[in-house]
Structure 1
């Protein structure tokens, strides 16, 4: 894994970014550990999943809050194709607020897949409890970074639950989720899309390249511009990646840089009003030949609308894109978009980190006054009436 030497022209990482910088850079190694762990748990996991996947009517619901919810959005379509079952991505925050609306088909067998870094957010456990209350049959696959978290402890001994842990290092100590997101996403793609998701084997090599000095210099060239807002766009699974990228920038800059995410087609329907001459734009370009056309269209449109150098394409292959404004993700030209998202999000993490540093903010704790917390506080879980 390549490190950034302090002797280069790149900014040295101050103490306030120690956790975040390390957790971004550790991802290729942690992903290898995640895959090894997944291989070791494969027999037990398959034994748990087999009777569930034998149900033709099974509904799989991918859930989490914030960044963890975006993990489900990225994985949803490729897992639906791999499993041949209905797969939905529904945030825990939606389930807790409206369990009846999220689980309308109460008799349908359901596998609730919960993503949680700590497992201690109030909505994490509440969503699983509400699913058990509302649904006639619900099993749980808990993917978490914290073996001691409330969610893991609640489910570890249940016969209708399977707890899949990431490597301990993936429980990020920095404010924002970086390696926790990617490790849990990799776990879900490997666990449920076993051998059917293209590109997973190349992710570690691709991420190591994204972390190279050359790539980081391109990122810092962008974040050193006088930009006060960013828009992230993508289609299909990459729309959810755009949402996570915008969130990461908003979090690590403490809200000092405004960010917006949308689909490549949806952006024109009003959200385009977000653009100013000081806007940076990043377009995730799909590997799917059909979807890719729409991403290229909006990239060209933004390139014509904004000052030179402020629009970037992040793509697995270069066709149809100008080299000067394209950040390639190597070895991912034939990957499914959900797999492409794993190394591609590392670019977004680096943008957020270096935008924060450029503003003199401490990324490990961008909200020193505690107005936003690493683990959500202040949520009251109200009892849901029995039907």
Structure 2
């Protein structure tokens, strides 16, 4: 993987971020083996819960970890045949009675890179306080984090640890996001995703190593866009949110980045467009949903300067004929669900964010050297909930 100035050196301040983007395919294969080796114990814990018709599954986390839940929500609801909601810890901690208003048997799935952010443990504690029956699946990259230690020996909890390398040292979550998302998909989705991780890893390796991809991403960044918009539908709307967050984080907020659904963009957010806006549209693998993604691509390609609109899609989802949109491909993945498609797709956004950061002279491993934004969030005061 290269940058606008060639191969990275330590002086670029990007060594951790580059390594953590590049290591993802190998880690996904390792996560696949890890979940397979834990299958018996996972099924013993999850099976009796998911068999219950009144179970509610809540996917929770903060920031990037919240987007993991949004990517997974629909796919897991379909696989489990149960109600699945993505609720950020930041919402749950601020309004636990509202977020958990229905006192249903609940499986709270917590995503946390470090498990040390104030909301991580607080969300699980509040769920225990508000609900009559709650079980916890903790998916984390840090065995020594508060969240993992708090739930390690609880009978109503199961901690699923990611490979140690997934505990990203860079500022922004990259491999931690994709590993935790994949782990949840495999753990809760069961046999439906057998063999998928290897296919996703193969495509991600191609994205990272292919010179043509590198040139395409570089050319887009060299346009020096002042605004980048990510669009997607369903699971890919969650991916759009995570992609925009990566650009904001790694560029230290110097590039305005936003996200919306393909249909929702016309309802006000479209006002962000100007001559220096780039739009990245994730195209769904679902034939029905894909129509709406392609419609907005065709519309925006006709209104923005040439080269301003890019689609990221498996082969069947490429931009409409004659739309003028460039297409960055995810070859051989036409038949996978969007929640799985999101994993190699996000690598494009990670590379774009990395290159945009370096192009502006920002150090991706530490884009906020003055400390106004922190790798593990600070400044949160937790307040007691009185029933």
TM-score by length of 2: 0.96
What's the secondary structure of 1:193's corresponding residue?
helix
Q: Which residue of 1 aligns with 2:75?
A: 78
What's the secondary structure of 1:159's corresponding residue?
coil
What are the residue-to-residue correspondences of 1:364-375 with 2, within 5 Å? 364-375=365-376
Q: Which residue of 2 aligns with 1:49?
A: 46
Instruction: Tell me how far apart the structure 1 counterparts of residues 132 and 282 of structure 2 sit (CA, whole Å).
Output: 40
Q: CA deviation at 1:70?
A: 0.2
Counterpart check, 1:25 vs 2:18: no
Contact 2:368 2:374 in 1 (8 A): yes
Instruction: Tell me how far apart the structure 1 counterparts of residues 281 and 72 of structure 2 sit (CA, whole Å).
Output: 19
Counterpart check, 1:163 vs 2:159: yes
Q: What are the ranges of 5 or more consecutive residues in structure 1 without an aligned counterpart?
A: none
Q: CA deviation at 1:341?
A: 0.1
What are the residue-to-residue correspondences of 1:284-295 with 2, within 5 Å? 284-295=282-293
Instruction: Tell me how far apart the structure 1 counterparts of residues 95 and 332 of structure 2 sit (CA, whole Å).
Output: 42
What is the root-mean-square deviation in Å for CA atoms of aligned residues?
1.4
What are the residue-to-residue correspondences of 1:85-234 with 2, within 5 Å? 85-106=82-103, 108-197=104-193, 199-211=196-208, 212-234=210-232
TM-score by length of 1: 0.96
Q: Which residue of 2 aligns with 1:308?
A: 306
Instruction: Tell me how far apart the structure 2 counterparts of residues 136 and 324 of structure 1 sit (CA, whole Å).
Output: 52
Q: CA deviation at 1:331?
A: 1.8
Q: CA deviation at 1:200?
A: 3.7
Task: Map Cα deviations across residues 312-353 of structure 1 (whole Å, 9 max, x no partner).
Answer: 000012455259700001121111000000000000000000
Instruction: Tell me how far apart the structure 2 counterparts of residues 102 and 121 of structure 1 sit (CA, whole Å).
Output: 20
What's the secondary structure of 2:212's corresponding residue?
helix
Instruction: Tell me how far apart the structure 1 counterparts of residues 269 and 292 of structure 2 sit (CA, whole Å).
Output: 16
What's the secondary structure of 1:118's corresponding residue?
coil
Q: Which residue of 1 aligns with 2:247?
A: 249
Instruction: Tell me how far apart the structure 2 counterparts of residues 70 and 14 of structure 1 sit (CA, whole Å).
Output: 31
Instruction: Tell me how far apart the structure 2 counterparts of residues 222 and 369 of structure 1 sit (CA, whole Å).
Output: 29
- Structure 1's 381 and 80: CA in aligned 2 closer, same or farther, altered over 3 A? same
Counterpart check, 1:377 vs 2:378: yes
Instruction: Tell me how far apart the structure 2 counterparts of residues 345 and 295 of structure 1 sit (CA, whole Å).
Output: 17
Instruction: Tell me how far apart the structure 2 counterparts of residues 104 and 318 of structure 1 sit (CA, whole Å).
Output: 42
Q: Which residue of 1 aligns with 2:32?
A: 35
Q: What are the ranges of 5 or more consecutive residues in structure 2 without an aligned counterpart?
A: none
Contact 2:312 2:318 in 1 (8 A): no
Equivalent of 1:12 in 7, 18, 25 = 7
What's the secondary structure of 2:191's corresponding residue?
coil
Q: CA deviation at 1:56?
A: 0.7
